[in-house]
Amino acid sequence: MIERYVAELNEALCGPRTVKADLLAEARDGLIDAAEAYEETGLDRASAERRAVADFGPVATVAPDYQTELALAQGRRTAVLICAVLTIQPVAWWMLLSLVGHGTGTANGAGYDLVNSVVRWTGGGAIGMALAVAIATGSGVRHLGPRRGLVRAAGFFAFAVCAVFAVLGALLTFYSTATESLLGVTGLPMTALLLGIPLVAIAVSGRRCLTAA
């Protein structure tokens, strides 16, 4: 009975695997403890497990609270990922230019300088917003409550970050004096690795936010 119940609860939930595994293990342990307590009162094992499951509540009733916790965890992960990627991106861009043989001190023109300034300001703002989301879905739950709407907002924010910085990254590449090297046979794989893949990871995490919420 207990294992069947936990399996049904597992099917009803979606979210970060490690957090989900911890929640299911906690539920299983609680049910086992309750069943053992009923056994000590004289019930057989099957009846004890049945009583423990009945006390715990139907999956349809229990799952929403568990799902909220999973959604908040996914929101935090997405926000932290955005902070990490946007903090590391300037270093990644410098590394990329160095790998293709162009230093960051190379004159790139007014267009490049303008886009680069937009990237810095937009990146700082996005990091600040991501930190706010991380706090709101973490310790802020004590004050704001477990609002799954914040997780949906985190998902849409992740998509917005991907779209904005994909465009800005393309403009930086276009205005850079290293354009041919960055999009060449040797430069393109590195450009995708250092700039493209992190944005894809953010998009995937954002989609998981919307699914979990």
Residue 175, helix vs strand vs coil? helix
Tokens in use for 52? 């423990």
Q: Is 42 left (phi over 0), alpha (psi -120 to 50) or beta?
A: left
Res 16: pLDDT: 92
At residue 28, the pLDDT reads 94
CB-hemisphere CA count at 13 Å for 108? Answer: 22
The model's pTM? 0.82
Unique residue bearing structure tokens 């998009």? 203
pLDDT attached to residue 185: 46
Q: What angle do CA 49, 15, 29 make, to 5 degrees?
A: 25
Q: Where are the alpha helices (DSSP H) in the chain?
A: 2-12, 17-40, 45-56, 59-99, 110-136, 141-144, 148-175, 179-182, 187-191, 197-212
pLDDT confidence of residue 21:
94
pLDDT attached to residue 114:
87
* Distance, CA of 212 to CA of 198 (rounded, Å): 21
* Tens of each residue's pLDDT in the chain, 213 residues: 899 999 999 999 999 999 999 999 999 999 999 999 999 888 888 999 999 999 999 999 999 999 999 999 999 999 999 999 999 888 877 776 676 555 554 556 677 788 878 888 998 999 999 999 888 887 655 555 567 788 899 999 999 999 998 888 878 777 766 555 555 545 566 666 777 889 999 999 999 999 988
